[in-house]
């Protein structure tokens, strides 16, 4: 495991330095940390919920999960539109991974990366994909609004301030509002509570605009 950790933290995570402001090294480290926490919290939740579906009662390999979390956004090197799919391509082509993982395990890592994207219409194909996807859903109101604004500034530099604010509000409603396309996958994660609080804000047009304007000024 030490060799895997060294590869993750010395070779994989530094690649995020070249990505956009919302996907720097700190993002990769956060997703790794949150993924491992979700795994640690799984058994205590199962102990309290004997009625839980069998899909949660499967062994999870720490090595596979940590690598999937570390590699989930590597495809951003080619841009955002297909980054989840490109991450899978990069993972499958990484010969170094064959030192520690079988071909089947590498495929599991690749699929977890491919399945993590919030706009995906299908559920992740494995528990690894579900955990990484959930860990990637950092439901913090301030962080989400700030990253939405940062994304707009980077990708739509031609917009003026009012247009950036309007774009951010529209995106927040489309993705995080009630009925939005964001899906949560892990029943023992507290993201649901935080998402509900964010949805309360989004449902209040005046409060949402005020929050976006305030964070846009920072």
Sorted by where each begins, the domain ranges of the chain are: 2-136, 141-216
Amino acid 20: pLDDT:
86
Amino acid 119: pLDDT:
65
Place of tokens 């790794």: 32
Please, what's the b/e burial string for 91-101 (b: 16 or more CB within 10 A of its CB; e: otherwise)? beebeebeeeb
H-helix or E-strand spanning residue 62 = helix 62-71
Of 125, 144, 130, the residue nearest 22 (C-alpha): 144
Amino acid 121: pLDDT:
66
If one counts every other C-beta atom within 10 angstroms of the C-beta of residue 167, the result is 18
Amino acid 36: pLDDT:
97
Amino acid 196: pLDDT:
93
pTM: 0.84
Q: Is residue 165 within 8 Å of 172, Cβ to Cβ?
A: no
Render each residue's pLDDT in the chain as its tens digit; 218 residues: 899 999 999 999 999 999 988 899 999 999 999 999 999 999 999 999 999 999 899 999 999 999 999 999 999 999 888 999 999 999 999 999 999 999 999 999 999 999 998 666 688 999 999 999 999 987 999 999 998 999 899 899 999 999 999 999 999 999 999 999 988 899 999 898 899 999 999 999 999 999 999 999 98
Displacement of CA 192 from its chain's centroid (Å) = 15
Amino acid 120: pLDDT:
64
Helix 25-48 and helix 62-71: axis angle, to 10°? Answer: 140
Amino acid 117: pLDDT:
85
If one counts every other C-beta atom within 10 angstroms of the C-beta of residue 193, the result is 10
Q: Is residue 156 within 8 Å of 167, Cβ to Cβ?
A: yes
Q: What token pair was written down for 192? A: 């649901």
Q: Is 2-136 a CATH 3.30.420.40 domain? A: no
């Amino acid at each position: 495991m030490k060799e895997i950790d060294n590869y993750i933290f010395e070779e994989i995570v530094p690649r995020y330095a070249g990505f956009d402001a919302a996907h720097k090294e700190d993002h990769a480290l956060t997703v790794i940390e949150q993924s491992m926490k979700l795994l640690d919290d799984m058994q205590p939740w199962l102990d309290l919920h004997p009625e839980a579906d069998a899909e949660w009662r499967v062994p999870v390999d720490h090595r596979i999960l940590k690598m999937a979390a570390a590699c989930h956004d590597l495809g951003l090197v080619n841009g955002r539109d297909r980054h989840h799919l490109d991450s899978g391509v990069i993972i499958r082509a990484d010969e170094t991974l064959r030192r520690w993982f079988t071909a089947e395990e590498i495929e599991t890592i690749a699929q977890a990366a491919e399945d993590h994207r919030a706009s995906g219409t299908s559920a992740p194909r494995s528990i690894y994909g579900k955990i990484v996807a959930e860990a990637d859903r950092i439901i913090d109101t301030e962080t989400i609004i700030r990253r939405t604004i940062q994304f707009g500034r980077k990708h739509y530099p031609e917009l003026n301030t009012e247009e950036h604010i309007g774009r951010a509000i529209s995106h927040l409603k489309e993705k995080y509002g009630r009925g939005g396309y964001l899906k949560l996958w892990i029943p023992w994660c507290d993201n649901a509570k935080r998402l509900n609080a964010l949805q309360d804000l989004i449902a209040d047009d005046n409060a949402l605009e005020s929050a976006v304007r305030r964070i846009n000024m920072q």
